[in-house]
Chains A and B, each alone.
Chain A
Amino acid sequence: MRYDIIWMIIGMGMVTYIPRMLPLAVFHRVKLPPFLQGVLKNVPYAILGALIVPGIFLLDEDPWFGVLGFVSAVVVAWFGANIIIVVLASVLVLSAYAVL
């Protein structure tokens, strides 16, 4: 094991943990103003949108790969399928596409 690599990993671990922990510690038992509470309640839905797009369309050089994965996940999820089913269905569709 090389010490420079170990120290780099420990440093990466620290700067990853601090932003994850700090808000929970600082806002522990703190009631935020209503507007800010509303903004934070919006964050999960907004961040999901940003996590999906544009990432899914840049998965492969072939743009149809992402489009196909996107559409199949949306369709299966629309009919109320369990998340695992949504995941497996889109993987299956793309496997079939890769074979064809």
Chain B
Amino acid sequence: MDTALTARTLSSFRQGVQAGMSIAIGYMPIALTFGLLAKTTGLTLWETVMMSVIVFAGASQYIALNLLTLGTGGFEIVLTTFILNIRHFLMAAALNEKAEQESLWKKALYAFGITDETFSVAAMKPGKVNASYMLGLIFVSYGSWVISSGVGHVVGERLPKSLQESMSVALYAMFIGLLVPTLKKQRKVIWLACLAAAFHSILLLGLHMSKGWAIVISTLLASVLVQSFAKESEESDDAL
């Protein structure tokens, strides 16, 4: 029985690693550029790698560099990071509904690796997710993020700019690749994605709301609206 359990754990981990490959590819150009920017901002190689190791949040790390250049204080940078990461609260709550019942320390361990990308991949996986799967997924994503940050600091200037530019689309393409197959199956998904996209555009570009709040509010608004509507129209619709 013990070996069967280990085999299951191993196959979940491997499945996670496989699912994480597209994230690993997508993180490369972003982390490479981060490393390069960190260098021009005046961070040492170790400070740069340490930030990727400890924080592991792309958007926050970019903004931290921006604010450092502007001479903003550390406390304000931490506060900005917090506001930007409130969306992960929403993601972790959604992931919790999909998580297998496991010990708290395992969940607390993989919680460290919940990013926009690892969350999206895990959430679109059919069925439940367990800690082994999450750790496999995070292992390759985190590895790529940390290593590419360091590489970017060391050789960033020598990378061809055109390739970096065209690779910047990678994560968006991944999100589209995750969304489109489910979009084809359920009309509800079309509403959710399109409404949230519209709200997000209005809040960001029209009302100039801060990035952190805009994504949380547009996601919540779309999710609650569609849920209220779905409940009214057909109680039995339990396809999702």
Contact = CB atoms under 8 A, between A and B. Distances in A.
Contact of B88 (A6, A19, A29, A65): A19
B interface secondary structure, majority: helix
A39 B231 CA distance: 11
B18 to A, nearest CB: 10
Given A45-B192, A50-B218, A77-B180, A87 B170 contact: yes
Given A8-B77, A44-B119, A69-B169, A16 B85 contact: yes
A50 B200 CA distance: 6
Chain B: interface residue count, which band?
35 or more
Contacts, number: 278
A60 to B, nearest CB: 7
Contacts of A97: 166
Given A11-B78, A43-B219, A94-B166, A53 B173 contact: no
Interface string B161-183: 01101111110111111111110
B75, B104, B222 pick with most chain A CB within 10 angstroms:
B222
B47 interface: yes
A48 B120 contact: yes
Contacts of A40: 93-94, 96-97, 223
Contact of B92 (A1, A23, A53, A73): A23
Given A6-B50, A42-B222, A83-B177, A95 B162 contact: yes
A28 B179 CA distance: 28
Contact of A46 (B95, B116, B180, B219): B219
Contact of A16 (B57, B90, B108, B196): B57
B172 A52 contact: yes
Nearest to B182: A45
A53 B200 contact: yes
Interface of B: 21-22, 25-26, 43-44, 46-47, 50-51, 54-57, 60-61, 64, 74-75, 77-79, 81-82, 85-97, 99, 101, 104, 107-108, 111-112, 114, 116, 119-120, 123-124, 162-163, 165-170, 172-182, 184, 188-189, 192-201, 204-205, 215, 218-220, 222-224, 226-227, 230-231, 240
Q: Which 8 A-B pairs have the closest CB atoms?
A: A49-B193, A86-B177, A44-B123, A53-B197, A77-B180, A8-B74, A42-B223, A46-B196
19 contacts: A12-B51, A15-B79, A17-B111, A19-B85, A24-B111, A25-B111, A35-B231, A39-B220, A42-B227, A44-B120, A49-B194, A50-B200, A54-B197, A65-B169, A69-B172, A86-B174, A87-B22, A94-B165, A97-B166
